[in-house]
Structure 1
Amino acid sequence: MLWIGVASNLDNAGVGIAYGLRKTRIPLTPNSIIALMGFSLSCVGGILGNWISFCLTPFTCQIISTTVLVSIGVYVLSQQYFNKKPKEHLSEDNLILRVLRNPEEADLDNSKSISLFESVILGIALSLNNLAGGFSAGITHLNILMTSSISGFFSFICTGLCAIFSLKFAAGRLGEKATTISGILLILVGVRQIIS
Structure 2
Amino acid sequence: MALPILLALALSVDGLVAGAAYGMRGISVPKRSLAVIALCTALCLGGAMLAGGVVRELVSEGAMRRLGACILGAIGFWQLLHGSLEYLRQQATGKPRGVFKVRVRDLGIVVQILREPALADTDSSGRIDPKEAFLLGTALGLDAFGAGLAAALLQLSAAALVPAVAGAQVVGTVAGLYLG
Question: Same fold, TM exceeding 0.5?
Answer: yes
CA distance, structure 1, for counterparts of residue 151 and residue 101 of structure 2: 36
Q: CA deviation at 1:82?
A: 2.3
Which residue of 10, 14, 37 corresponds with 2:13? Answer: 10
For these two proteins, the number of residue pairs brought into alignment is: 165
What's the C-alpha RMSD, in Å, of the aligned pairs? Answer: 2.4
Does residue 1:163 correspond to 2:149, yes or no? Answer: no
Contact 1:50 1:140 in 2 (8 A): no
Q: CA deviation at 1:55?
A: 1.1
Q: Is the helix fraction higher in 1 or 2? A: 1
Which residue of 22, 28, 31 corresponds with 1:28? Answer: 31
Does residue 1:151 correspond to 2:155, yes or no? Answer: no
**4+ residue runs of structure 1 moved beyond 4 angstroms?**
87-97
Does residue 1:77 correspond to 2:92, yes or no? Answer: no
User: Percent identity, aligned pairs only?
Assistant: 21
Give the partner amino acid of 2:14: D
What are structure 1's unaligned runs of at least 5 residues? 167-196
CA distance, structure 2, for counterparts of residue 108 and residue 42 of structure 1: 25
Give the partner amino acid of 2:173: T
Q: How does 1:29-178 map to 2 (within 5 A)?
A: 29-80=32-83, 81-82=85-86, 84-85=88-89, 86=93, 96-97=111-112, 99-166=113-180
Give the partner amino acid of 2:35: S
Contact 1:34 1:119 in 2 (8 A): yes
* Distance 1:93-1:59 versus aligned 2 partners, 3 A rule: closer
Task: Tell me the TM-score normalised to structure 1 length.
Answer: 0.75
CA distance, structure 1, for counterparts of residue 82 and residue 50 of structure 2: 28
SS in 1 for 2:12: helix
* Distance 1:8-1:93 versus aligned 2 partners, 3 A rule: closer
CA distance, structure 2, for counterparts of residue 131 and residue 91 of structure 1: 18
CA distance, structure 2, for counterparts of residue 125 and residue 60 of structure 1: 30
CA distance, structure 1, for counterparts of residue 102 and residue 150 of structure 2: 33
Q: Is the strand fraction higher in 1 or 2? A: 2
Give the partner amino acid of 1:158: G
CA distance, structure 2, for counterparts of residue 77 and residue 16 of structure 1: 20
Give the partner amino acid of 1:82: E
Task: Tell me the TM-score normalised to structure 2 length.
Answer: 0.81
Between 150-159 and 67-76, report the one with greater CA deviation: 67-76
1:63-121 CA-partner distances (Å, limit 9, x unpaired): 22122212222222223222542456869998954x43223321112111101111111
Contact 2:69 2:154 in 1 (8 A): no
